[in-house]
């Protein structure tokens, strides 16, 4: 007996078969392009001192061959000069354009190659830098933080002194490198505990650097390239137990234990604290604790998604800086006295491809320049500090490509699959779970991130190989400007 197929059944099968490629083609349609509005009147800072950096390296090479007693004499002269300059800053107020600060900068960089070749003086050099940075921060309280010349001065002195210090540290054996540097132990009335050998108080701000390629991009991709990519707020209760309130790309705002916070890759951590002599704290010394408790309560009572657009005015979503700035703003403290800016069209285009829509915002690295804050301590992992520098050099080389018009590519044929993964993630988000695509991130951005991360890792591996060869032939680790040269060379033959 022959069974006849009903006339409609083959048609439905054919339609079902054809719907798969049709759906795939529909899901291949790219989303709208981005044309980010850039902040007016801003420009990226450029050192433009390649010859100076090369001269410093030559001085280091020469210092390694100098008879030790003469080397020590020069170092001690430089340290005495540093003490005199710091004393001058502590005696009276100076304008930001005073030539005294040019002298300070010169002394910092002249001393660095000498100390790098004589690590016995490392501790004294680090202490001198800490004292100078503290004095500069005190001076900045009387400066106009909206003035471009002031911002340039602060960056040259604070970022520059850290860069000089780290070049010295990297030429020092790991066993002799101090992981924790104590700075200003600013008075606080809030509950306290120990973290990484430092006494921290409720309301303190933890500024850190992650190990991901996007962390390096966040740190370097603004008008004042820095070393930090993440901001968190610490709350210490009356029993001395700490909770960290922070925003993660994958999960939004979360409350982490101290162990969880430290378990995430941290290439460096800086502890910042509000000055105790601020008018608001003079009235209410427990203000930092109240701000931290407010942030904790909000994270406990509602889900706050991650803000990829970096809109610090939108309180429905938070990126990491917003967790801190919004909590303090509720108590009359405006952090980031001068907003960060991203004015380079190429860099802004890359960030827009990751979902950023606001290019005058609150960048983690720039929080250090806020005169309202003291640097309490800085911690670096000696084992991965060089990785941090390689990551920075690779990103800087890649962003030079962005300035030349190079775009962020992705595997276009994977877009339908990524969109399905994003739809699945949306369902998981509604159930309170994290999906394969972070909440609020587009499918194309997720693919770009994957390609960007792989490209960064490839370049970083090539730079590391070049750095090892440099060290083998010259006998010392390549300083940052040499790493940047290696990154440019590694990138030159590659298409991205």
Q: pLDDT tens digit string along 154-198?
A: 999 999 999 999 999 999 887 677 889 999 999 999 999 998 889
pLDDT of 35 above 90: no
Average pLDDT over residues 6-11: 56
pLDDT band at 110 (very low <50, low <70, confident <90, very high): very high
The arithmetic mean of pLDDT across residues 38-58, rounded, is 82
Q: What is the pLDDT of residue 5?
A: 46
Residue 346 has pLDDT above 80, yes or no: yes
Structural contact between residues 207 and 269, judged by C-beta atoms closer than 8 angstroms: yes
Interhelix angle 213-220/443-474, nearest 10 degrees? 90
Answer with the residue of higher pLDDT: 266 or 34.
Answer: 266
Per-residue confidence (pLDDT) for residue 422, from 0 to 100:
85
Q: What is the pTM of this model?
A: 0.90
Residue 15 has pLDDT above 50, yes or no: no
Q: Which residue has the higher pLDDT, 73 or 412?
A: 73
| Residue 242, CB-side half-sphere exposure with 13 Å CA sphere | 25
Separation between Cα atoms, residue 418 and residue 153, nearest integer Å: 45
How much of the chain, in percent, has pLDDT values that exceed 70? 92
Transcribe 109-168 into DSSP letters: HHHHHHHHT-GGGHHHHHHHHHHHHHHHHHHHTTS-TTSHHHHHHHIIIIIHHHHHHHHH
What confidence category does residue 262 fall into, taking pLDDT thresholds of 50, 70 and 90? confident
Kindly tell me if the per-residue pLDDT of 372 is higher than 60.
yes
Instruction: Report whether pLDDT(393) > 60.
Output: yes
pLDDT tens digits for range 461-478: 999 999 999 999 999 999
Residue 23 pLDDT exceeds 60: no
pLDDT at 3 over 60: no
pLDDT at 492: 79
Tell me the average pLDDT across 317-339: 95
* SS3 at position 474: helix
> Residue 82 pLDDT more than 80?
yes
Query: Once rounded to an integer, what is the mean pLDDT over residues 247-275?
Result: 92
Arithmetic mean of pLDDT, 261-289: 94
| Residue 21: per-residue pLDDT | 58
Q: Compute the distance between CA of residue 62 and CA of residue 43 in angstroms, rounded to an integer.
A: 37
Q: What is the mean pLDDT of the chain?
A: 89
Q: Is the pLDDT of residue 25 over 50?
A: no
Q: Is the pLDDT of residue 406 over 60?
A: yes
- Which SS3 state, helix, strand or coil, does residue 45 take? coil
Q: What pLDDT does 265 receive?
A: 83
157 vs 495, residue with greater confidence: 157
Name the helix (H) or strand (E) containing 68. helix 68-91
**Distance between CA atoms of 477 and 470, rounded to whole angstroms?**
7
What is the arithmetic mean of pLDDT over 255-268?
89
Work out the pLDDT band at 224, boundaries 50, 70, 90: very high
The kind and range of the H/E element at 195 are strand 192-195
Task: Output the pLDDT for position 13.
Answer: 53
Nearest CA to 227 out of 407, 438, 384, 356 is that of 384
125-157 burial code (b ≥16 CB/10 A, e <16)? bbbbbbbbbbbbbbbbeebebeeeebbebbbbb
């Amino acid at each position: 007996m022959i069974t006849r197929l009903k006339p409609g059944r083959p048609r439905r099968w054919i339609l079902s078969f054809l719907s798969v490629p049709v759906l795939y083609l529909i899901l291949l349609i790219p989303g709208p392009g981005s044309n980010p509005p850039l902040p007016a009147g801003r420009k990226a800072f450029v050192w433009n001192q390649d010859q100076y950096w090369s001269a410093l390296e030559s001085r280091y090479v020469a210092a390694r061959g100098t008879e030790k007693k003469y080397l020590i004499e020069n170092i001690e002269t430089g340290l005495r000069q540093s003490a005199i300059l710091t004393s001058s800053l502590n005696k009276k107020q100076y304008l930001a354009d005073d030539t005294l600060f040019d002298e300070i900068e010169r002394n910092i960089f002249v001393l660095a190659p000498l100390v790098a070749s004589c690590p016995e003086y490392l501790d004294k050099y680090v202490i001198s830098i800490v004292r100078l940075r503290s004095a500069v921060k005190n001076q900045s309280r009387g400066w106009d933080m909206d003035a471009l010349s002031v911002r340039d001065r602060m960056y040259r002195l604070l970022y520059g002194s850290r860069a000089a210090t780290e070049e010295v540290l990297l030429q020092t054996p790991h066993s002799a490198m101090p992981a924790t540097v104590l700075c200003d132990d600013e008075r606080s009335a809030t509950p306290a505990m120990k973290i990484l050998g430092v006494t921290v108080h409720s309301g303190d701000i933890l500024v850190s650097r992650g190990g991901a390629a996007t962390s390096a991009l966040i740190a370097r991709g603004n008008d004042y390239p820095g070393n930090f990519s993440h901001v968190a707020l610490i709350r210490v209760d009356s029993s001395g137990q700490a909770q960290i309130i922070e925003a993660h790309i994958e999960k939004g705002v979360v409350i982490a234990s101290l162990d969880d916070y430290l378990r995430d890759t941290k290439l460096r951590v800086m502890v910042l604290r509000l000055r105790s002599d601020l008018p608001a704290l003079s009235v209410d010394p427990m203000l930092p604790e109240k701000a931290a408790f407010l942030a904790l309560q909000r994270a406990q009572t509602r889900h706050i998604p991650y803000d990829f657009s970096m809109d610090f005015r939108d309180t429905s979503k938070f990126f990491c800086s917003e967790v801190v700035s919004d909590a303090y703003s509720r108590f009359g403290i405006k952090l980031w006295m001068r907003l960060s800016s991203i004015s380079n069209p190429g860099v802004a285009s890359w960030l827009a491809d990751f979902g950023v829509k606001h290019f005058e915002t609150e960048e983690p690295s720039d929080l250090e320049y806020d005169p309202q804050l003291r640097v309490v301590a800085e911690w670096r992992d000696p084992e991965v500090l060089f990785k941090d520098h390689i990551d920075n050099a690779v990103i800087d080389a890649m962003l030079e490509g962005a300035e030349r018009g190079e775009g962020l590519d992705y595997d276009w044929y994977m877009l339908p699959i990524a969109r399905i993964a994003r739809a699945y993630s949306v369902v998981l988000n509604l159930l309170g779970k994290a999906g394969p695509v972070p909440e609020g991130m587009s499918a194309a951005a997720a693919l770009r991130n994957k390609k960007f991360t792989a490209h960064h890792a490839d370049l970083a591996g090539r730079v590391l190989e070049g750095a090892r060869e440099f060290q083998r032939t010259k006998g010392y680790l390549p300083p940052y400007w040499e790493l940047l040269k290696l990154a440019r060379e590694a990138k030159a033959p590659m298409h991205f």
